[in-house]
Amino acid sequence: MGVKAVHRITTGRNGLGAFILQCKKMDFHYCDWAGSSKGMNGFIKSILPKFAAAHPQIEFTVSPRPSKHPVITGHYINGRDKAICVRNLEPLQILKKVELLRDASGEKLKKVTKPVQSINESVRGIWSPYHGNGMRV
């Protein structure tokens, strides 16, 4: 045959067609005795129901973790998870942490130095010494 084929697969581009929120589950652990969990208990009673209703694509779990600080764990589609201890925080501060978890992808935090990250090659192309007017020495 003239042309053989190489086996390759496509790359997904989240958001181009459909957008999949990367946070798929959030666990909320509270304690009825510890004073550090006061804000968390208030958050679960007052703010969490509305937040959960606004994010139907996230699975929420609320469970007691006695004698421990309150913790929120976010589970992501890439299999990793992120835990944030919310001891001694007010409900609105806890909401900020929850929004942080919701907006994160599961990737490890990386320092970004370049302005553009893309899978496409450059539009103007890479300079070549063999094309164009060459180099006059």
Q: Which of residues 40-79 bind other proteins (CB under 8 A)?
A: 56-61, 63, 77
Q: Does 133 bind other proteins (CB under 8 A)?
A: no
For the chain, the C-alpha Rg in angstroms (whole number) is 24
Segment interacting with other proteins (CB under 8 A) among 9-17, 29-37, 90-98, 110-118? 9-17
Closest approach, Cβ 30 to other proteins, in A, equals 12
Q: Does 4 bind other proteins (CB under 8 A)?
A: yes
Q: How far apart are CA 57 and CA 52, in angstroms?
A: 9
- Around Cβ 109, how many Cβ atoms within 10 Å? 7
The crossing angle, in degrees rounded to 10, of helices 91-103 and 38-46 is 70
Closest approach, Cβ 92 to other proteins, in A, equals 25
Q: Does 126 bind other proteins (CB under 8 A)?
A: no
Q: What residue ranges bind other proteins (CB under 8 A)?
A: 1-14, 16-18, 20-21, 24-25, 56-61, 63, 77, 119, 128, 130-131, 134
